[in-house]
Amino acid sequence: MRRSEQVNRASRLANVPLRNGRLSHDIDPSDRPPQDACGVFGVWVPADQASRAEVSKLTYYGLYALQHRGQESAGIAVSDGSRIVVFKDMGLVAQVFDESVLNTLRGHIAVGHCRYSTTGSPTWENAQPTFRSTDTGGLALVHNGNLINTPELAARLEPGVLTATTDTEVLTALLATSGTAGEDAPAAGDTADPGPLAAAREILPATRGAYSLVFMDEGTLYAARDPEGIRPLVLGNLEDRGWVVASETAALDIVGARFVREIEPGEMVAIDGAGVRSERFAEARPKGCLFEYVYLARPDTTIAGRSVQATRVEVGRRLAREHPVEADMVIPTPESGTPAAIGYAEASGIPYGQGLVKNSYVGRTFIQPSQTIRQLGIRLKLNPLRETIEGKRLVVVDDSIVRGNTQRAIVSMLRDAGAAEVHVRISSPPVAWPCFYGIDFATRAELIAGNLSVEEIRDSIGADSLGFISLDELISASRIPKDNLCRACFDGVYPIEVEQDARGKHLLEAGRS
Domains and CATH numbers, the chain: 39-287 (3.60.20.10), 307-484 (3.40.50.2020)
Distance between CA atoms of residues 320 and 318, nearest Å = 5
Which helix (H) or strand (E) is 64 found in, with range?
helix 55-65
**pLDDT score for 380:** 73
**pLDDT score for 359:** 80
Q: Please, is 98 exposed, middle or buried when counting C-beta atoms within 10 Å of its C-beta (0-12, 13-18, 19+)? A: exposed
Q: Where would I find the H helices in 335-390?
A: 338-348, 371-375, 386-389
Q: How far is CA 7 from CA 77, 83, 433, in A?
A: 9, 11, 40
pTM: 0.87
Cα radius of gyration (the chain): 23
Q: Is 74 left (phi over 0), alpha (psi -120 to 50) or beta?
A: beta
What secondary structure letter does DSSP report for 456? H
38 counts as catalytic: yes
The confidence band for 123, taking pLDDT boundaries of 50, 70 and 90, is confident
The confidence band for 186, taking pLDDT boundaries of 50, 70 and 90, is very low
pLDDT one-digit tens code per residue, 216-251: 999 999 999 999 999 999 999 998 789 999 999 999
The confidence band for 302, taking pLDDT boundaries of 50, 70 and 90, is very high
Q: Which residues of 154-171 are buried (b: 16+ CB within 10 A; e: fewer)?
A: beeeeeeebebbbbbbbb
Q: What is the mean pLDDT of residues 156-166?
A: 84
Cβ contact 447:401 at 8 Å: no
**pLDDT score for 102:** 96
Is the C-alpha dihedral spanning 84, 88, 93, 96 positive or negative?
A: negative
Strand ranges (E), 33-104? 39-44, 73-79, 84-90
Among 38, 289, 435, 489, the one annotated catalytic: 38
**pLDDT score for 30:** 46
